[in-house]
Homo-oligomer: A and B are copies of this chain.
Amino acid sequence: MRSGVRVHVGDRLDLGAEIVMNEREAHYLRDVRRLRAGDKVAVFNGTDGEWDATIVNSTRRGATLRVGVQLRSQATEPDLWLVFAPIKRARIDQLVEKATELGVSVLQPVHTRHTVVERLNLGRLRTIATEASEQCERLTVPRVRPPIAVSQLLNDWPQERRLLLCVETGPARPIGELLLEGRTESSTWAVMVGPEGGFALPELDLFLKLPFVTPVGLGPRILRAETAALAALACWQVILGDGSLRPSPSHA
């Protein structure tokens, strides 16, 4: 029977293909989701859409799945990056989980001058992004990139991608106004939020000189970094992204 469980896999998906899961993945199906041989799950790999799969065997050491029919074909998803300074553990976990639900394609941590958290557990963040993708019915998992310095971020920046810099001080365009204007553009987009202490002034100056950067405001309240990011991403999706689409009816 269909279990409602979705699993992201690395394998190619095709009718009859066999998927071999490692000990950890098998543990998740067996001990967390209580699934056994004969149970069905949905699998996706980010490129081949979503497929029905049946657990053909499941032990403590691993599990094997057999791929059945395709449930959904791969569709184009919004191309929206989130650039963020690392914040405290509980809050960065929320940020990655909810940014994934809100459909970001790339999560790019960046070390700013005021970044307090120096070490980042990329493995943990990737697991959170994968689990949130499984849960929210995405057909992709956002890429969580290794952290880089501001200088490298700006050197490597694709010039045609607009960067909406969420700032609490200084001049800024209201984000709603800017996104509504963006409906007539063919740009690609990114949202950036600074560290808890805000940007250092020389750093902010550097950003504001760049043609692809626009400082944006989210209203009169001082938002925590993760709240600002989620608010900006939600508004982008609703105004410029896929906010008018509905969940696939298969999910119930």
Of B94, B219, B244, which contacts A174 at CB under 8 A? B244
Q: Is A153 an interface residue (CB 8 A)?
A: no
- Interface residues contributed by chain A, number (CB under 8 Å): 46
Per-residue CB contact flags for chain A residues 209-252 toward chain B (1 = under 8 Å, else 0) read: 00000000111111110010011101101110111111111011
Contacts of A94 in B (CB 8 A): 94
- B175 contacts A249, CB within 8 Å? no
A185 within 8 A of partner (CB): no
Residues on B with C-beta less than 8 A from A247 are: 168-169, 220-222
CB of A177 within 8 Å of the partner chain: yes
Task: For A246, give its contact among B172, B177, B245 (CB under 8 Å).
Answer: B172
Residue among A224, A230, A234, A247 with the most chain B CB within 10 A?
A234
- With A98-B230, A247-B169 known to touch, is A222 a contact of B135 (CB < 8 Å)? yes
Q: Is A102 an interface residue (CB 8 A)?
A: yes
A101 interface residue (CB < 8 Å to B): yes
Copies in the complex: 2
Contact B137 A238 (CB under 8 A): no
Q: With the chains together, A230 CA to B97 CA distance in Å?
A: 13
Give the shortest distance, in Å, between A216 (CB) and chain B (any CB): 10
Quick check: is A109 within 8 A (CB to CB) of the other chain?
no
Instruction: Tell me the complex Cα distance, A246–B197, Å.
Output: 18
Q: Is A46 an interface residue (CB 8 A)?
A: no
Q: CB within 8 Å of B: which residues of A?
A: 94, 97-98, 101-103, 135-138, 168-169, 172, 174-177, 179, 217-224, 227, 230-232, 234-235, 237-239, 241-249, 251-252
Apart from the given pairs A136-B223, A174-B243, A175-B238, 18 other A-B contacts in the complex at a CB distance below 8 Å:
A102-B227, A103-B219, A136-B221, A137-B220, A137-B222, A138-B221, A169-B247, A169-B252, A174-B238, A176-B239, A176-B243, A217-B244, A219-B241, A219-B242, A219-B244, A222-B251, A230-B234, A231-B234
